């Protein structure tokens, strides 16, 4: 499976570069409970867990990651070990191999790889900010794919945990650098995402680069960093409803 392999590899490389000369005790502003060592531990545990999940090759919940696993003084070496495990698992698995996921559908190795691109990218951004660098943007095409995955998987799953109780309406997420607008129709039955414009006009449109829209959805940048047109109350309610780490 190679569809998401190279974007994942690129973000792992960028994460490793961000932590190479950084202070392990540096705080992570976007994850205020963590220092850089804990951020590395989190992503490393996540990547090891999903590597083992892909290798398992069946839709059975695997053993949860060892929360006590933490890097020593060599953050990069410890991180690279887990990243290499994940990359090898992704590269070696057929795209349609069954796999357990925390979301309902799709439940395949490819779906895990796709989600891990944005997991690595957002935490790479965290690591850059923690190490005193400007958080660099996601690759536009990778960000567009992450945006699509977010609205079709994460937003739908989030409604199961935290039902939408805000106003009804359509929110459009409109990247300015790639043709990848996505719409989410919000109502009493929860969010309905779409790649095609729904019959109802968007009540609120959030415009920015695909990277900025992904970072906004993950609450890494404020709403003011993108352009909001239409019903600002609906747009704000949508973003505030999303609490995704």
- The answer to whether residue 126 sits within a structural domain is yes
Each residue's pLDDT tens digit, 181-191: 999 999 988 99
- The answer to whether residue 182 sits within a structural domain is yes
CA distance 14 to 62: 28
For β-strands 192-194 and 169-175, DSSP reports them as unpaired
Model pLDDT, residue 134: 92
**Triad 210, 212, 215: Cα angle to 5°:** 110
For β-strands 192-194 and 204-208, DSSP reports them as unpaired
Model pLDDT, residue 98: 97
Q: Which of 66, 97, 130 is the last residue of a domain?
A: 130
- The answer to whether residue 124 sits within a structural domain is yes
- The answer to whether residue 200 sits within a structural domain is yes
Model pLDDT, residue 244: 59
Model pLDDT, residue 180: 94
Task: Look up residue 127 and give its two tokens.
Answer: 């690591």
Model pLDDT, residue 189: 87
Q: What is the pTM (predicted TM-score) of this model?
A: 0.94
Model pLDDT, residue 70: 78
Q: Which of 70, 105, 130 is the last residue of a domain?
A: 130
Shared-domain flag, residues 126 and 11: yes
H helix runs in the chain, sequence order: 5-19, 36-56, 75-92, 109-130, 140-149, 155-161, 210-217, 232-241
Model pLDDT, residue 1: 47
Q: In which domain, by residue range, is 28 found?
A: 5-130
CB 26 within 8 A of CB 42: no
CA distance 8 to 87: 8
CB 143 within 8 A of CB 63: no
CA distance 197 to 183: 6
Low-confidence ranges of the chain (pLDDT < 50): 1
SS3 content of the chain, % helix, strand, coil (to 5): 50, 10, 40
């Amino acid at each position: 499976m190679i569809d998401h392999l190279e974007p994942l590899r690129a973000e792992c490389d960028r994460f490793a570069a961000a932590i190479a000369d950084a202070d392990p005790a540096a705080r992570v502003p976007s994850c205020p409970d963590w220092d850089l060592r804990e951020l590395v531990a989190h992503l490393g545990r996540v990547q090891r867990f999903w590597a083992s999940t892909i290798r398992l090759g069946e839709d059975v919940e695997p053993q949860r990651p060892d929360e006590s696993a933490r890097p020593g003084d060599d953050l990069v070496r410890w991180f690279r070990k887990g990243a290499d495990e994940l990359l090898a698992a992704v590269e070696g698995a057929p795209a349609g191999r069954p796999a357990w996921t925390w979301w309902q559908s799709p439940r395949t190795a490819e779906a895990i790889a796709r989600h891990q691109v944005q997991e690595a990218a957002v935490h790479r951004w965290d690591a850059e900010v923690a190490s005193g660098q400007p958080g660099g943007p996601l690759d536009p095409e990778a960000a567009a794919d992450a945006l699509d995955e977010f609205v079709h998987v994460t937003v739908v799953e989030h409604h199961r945990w935290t039902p939408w109780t805000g106003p009804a309406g359509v929110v459009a997420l409109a990247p300015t650098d790639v043709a990848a607008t996505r719409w989410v129709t919000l109502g009493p039955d929860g969010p309905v995402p779409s790649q095609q414009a729904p019959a109802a006009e968007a009540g609120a449109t959030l415009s920015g680069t695909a990277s900025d829209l992904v970072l906004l959805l993950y609450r890494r940048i404020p709403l003011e960093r993108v352009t909001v047109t239409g019903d600002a109350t609906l747009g704000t309610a949508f973003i505030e409803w999303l609490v995704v780490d």
